[in-house]
């Protein structure tokens, strides 16, 4: 797997707009995947993992509080083999600012993955995420790195 900063919206969208991923990351008030365009500007950094020149994963960094927030996505068929490795390697691009993540309580597997990889909960937001008409608590996490 090769990781590099990516400015190609097509490569980024090939991961984020995958039906399983987009359904998970989008709340009820989000636009449909066919209308989504990733912001490509100085406030966002996209690290994409490639296997045989095919994009299989993306780590997104963007401004948040006193640092950056991160979001990691790996195509379902590559998670078993590459998720942990990609998560670890993509954190090397984080810089020196504090790093945060927001994870709805609904996604217990994602929260467990973050907690197992040096993140810890610093706060929660009640009803911070709405999915299928149901309000969910959102965990705000900070990286120990």
pLDDT the model gives residue 21: 96
**110 against 46, higher pLDDT:** 46
C-alpha 79, offset from chain centre: 13
pLDDT the model gives residue 36: 95
- Give 90's pLDDT tier (boundaries 50, 70, 90): very high
Does residue 117 register a pLDDT over 90?
A: no
Query: Residue 5 burial (CB < 10 Å; 0-12/13-18/19+)?
Result: exposed
pLDDT the model gives residue 136: 96
CA gap 105, 140 in Å, rounded? 10
Q: What is the pLDDT of residues 56-79, one digit of tens each?
A: 999 999 999 999 999 999 999 999
CA gap 97, 63 in Å, rounded? 10
- Give 95's pLDDT tier (boundaries 50, 70, 90): very high
Question: In the Cβ-directed half-sphere of 139, how many Cα atoms lie within 13 Å?
Answer: 18
Q: What is the pLDDT of residues 3-59, one digit of tens each?
A: 999 999 999 999 999 999 999 899 998 999 999 999 999 999 999 999 999 999 999
Query: Model-level pTM?
Result: 0.92
């Amino acid at each position: 797997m090769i990781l590099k900063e990516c400015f190609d919206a097509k490569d980024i969208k090939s991961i984020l707009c995958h039906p399983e991923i987009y359904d998970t990351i989008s709340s009820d008030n989000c636009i449909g995947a066919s209308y989504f365009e990733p912001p490509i500007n100085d406030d966002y950094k996209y690290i994409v993992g490639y296997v045989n020149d095919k994009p299989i994963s993306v780590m997104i960094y963007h401004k948040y509080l006193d640092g950056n927030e991160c979001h990691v996505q790996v195509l379902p068929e590559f998670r078993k083999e590459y998720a942990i490795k990609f998560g670890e390697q993509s954190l090397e691009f984080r810089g020196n600012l504090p790093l945060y993540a927001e994870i709805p309580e609904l996604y217990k597997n994602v929260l467990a993955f973050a907690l197992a990889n040096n993140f810890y909960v610093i706060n929660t937001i009640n009803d911070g995420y709405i999915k299928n008409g149901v309000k969910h608590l959102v965990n705000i996490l900070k990286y120990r790195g």
